[in-house]
Amino acid sequence: MNFANRWEVVRFITEKKIIAIIRAQSSTSLLKAVEALREGGIECIEVTMTTPGALQILEEVRKKMGEVLFGAGTVLDSETARLCILSGAQFLVTPSLNFAVIDMAHRYDVPIIPGALTPSEILSAWERGAEVVKVFPASSLGPQYIRELKGPFPHIKLCPTGGINLDNLRSFLQAGATCVGVGGSLVKAQFIQEEKWELLRDLAREFQKAAAE
């Protein structure tokens, strides 16, 4: 899946609403997990840099799964950001606010979703050029926090992450979230370890249905 610029990537994420966060031990298991998610309707995937051999895995799956949008997550510094982009990452996600990482992403015309929590951090991320701001950890403050943030910041795209599940996904989106990052409640470690790809696909469909509603 190719895009002319970073704004097209942002538009795609905005339309799809869910970014599935995956931690896999091999490119084979990641490929199978991504295929199951895609069959379930989820096409935005974040491969975390906490995954062993993450850069190599990202490069392999990026070449083999052209119909899915791949990003790199848990990017902590600008050099890692550069390596992720060279390995095929189409967007970057960070757990915290790092201006050097934002600058590196934009040097390569790649959108970035930096992590922030307070109003000051969120505004600083946007002023630096972040296309979307990751509100993390979102479950600590809940959907109401997103609603309150959208009061002074209606123009900032927010992506709550951390503790998002089927029970609260709709509430976060209704509160004004542009999209959500979903990890263990969707991409269950047990499903990957036991290769229960059909269960993962069915769960992805439930999440996608919830987001669409």
Condensed to tens digits (0 to 9), the pLDDT of residues 41-63 reads: 999 999 999 888 899 989 988 98
Structural domains in the chain, CATH included, are 6-212 (3.20.20.70)
d(CA 175, CA 180): 12
| Neighbour-count burial of 100, counting CB atoms closer than 10 A to its CB (0-12 exposed, 13-18 middle, 19+ buried) | exposed
pLDDT at 143: 98
Scanning 78-155, the segments in alpha helix (DSSP H) are: 78-86, 99-107, 119-128, 143-149
The tokens for 94 are: 């960070």
Separation CA 48–CA 52 (nearest Å) = 9
- Residues 93-99: contacts with CB within 8 Å, 24+ apart? 93/19, 93/46, 93/134, 93/181, 94/134, 95/134, 95/136, 97/121, 97/124, 97/125, 99/128
Prior bond to 137 cis, omega within 30? yes
DSSP β-ladder status, 92-93 and 112-113: parallel
* pLDDT at 25 exceeding the cut of 90: no
What b-and-e string marks burial along 174-208, b requiring 16 or more CB atoms within 10 Å of the CB?
ebbbbbbbbbeebbbeebbeeeebeebbebbeebb
Over the stretch 144-173, which tens digit does the pLDDT of each residue have?
999 999 999 999 999 999 999 999 999 999
Element (H, E) at 54: helix 54-64
Which residues carry out catalysis? Answer: 46, 134
Backbone angles phi, psi at 113, to 5 degrees: -120, 85
Identify the pLDDT of residue 113: 98
Residues 61-74 have pLDDT tens digits of: 898 888 899 999 99
